[in-house]
Amino acid sequence: METCIACGAPTDKVELLPTYDADVIGIPVTLRNGVLHHSCDSCGFDGIEILDSENLSAAVAVARILLPIVLSGAEIRFLRKACQMNGKQFANELGCDNATLSRWENGGGAGEVTERNIRDTVWSLLYKRVPAIQVEPGHFKRMETYRLNDGESLPRLVLERVRLKDSARQTKSDEWDIYERCAA
């Protein structure tokens, strides 16, 4: 028996949703097996709970940087937030000054070389939070990106909850993974 997340009463009306469409800071995502639907007879609560939501933003950020589509300014801001940094901290990680970062975030993004640096830095800051997602060394440093045509929108990112087994340490954990990796 589970407990209601609103009132704490026991309830058996908790259902794992096979898919759930959401918007994570402006990026459209589909979450597979990672959202619970709760309903409660005691208090009338009816709503959803996203599992491990603190690491979901990291997984969405990593899924986004693996997509070889040029980053918009708003997306660079989203990546910084997923890294839980303010402008000064993130600029420091990128090796630029805060005013430059702010110009990228509020304007049309950064150039191609800078994009690679941003992706590589974001990966180095987030990989520990997404242990199910594997990226080969140097991947972002040689990544070729392209721009969307007018009227095209970002493809929906699909993430799923997976059970990760660490045979060396004999531990298991549930983590966010990318369901379909776009060929880059």
Give the binding site for Zn ion (CB under 5 A): 4, 6-7, 9, 40, 42-43, 45
Written as six digits, the tokens of 36 are 């619970």
CB 106 within 8 A of CB 52: no
| Closer of 43 and 164 to Zn ion (Cβ) | 43
Q: How far is the CB of 52 from Zn ion (least distance, A)?
A: 22
Q: How far is the CB of 47 from Zn ion (least distance, A)?
A: 10
Task: State how far the Cα of 148 lies from the Cα of 106, in Å rounded to an integer.
Answer: 19
Q: How far is the CB of 3 from Zn ion (least distance, A)?
A: 8
Task: State how far the Cα of 142 lies from the Cα of 20, in Å rounded to an integer.
Answer: 33
Q: How far is the CB of 4 from Zn ion (least distance, A)?
A: 3
Question: How many CB atoms within 10 Å of residue 24?
Answer: 21
Neighbouring-strand partners of residue 172 = 165
Q: How far is the CB of 10 from Zn ion (least distance, A)?
A: 9
CB 72 within 8 A of CB 154: no
Task: State how far the Cα of 22 lies from the Cα of 35, in Å rounded to an integer.
Answer: 10
Residues in the chain: 184
For residue 57, which of 79, 34, 85, 89 has the smallest C-alpha distance?
A: 79
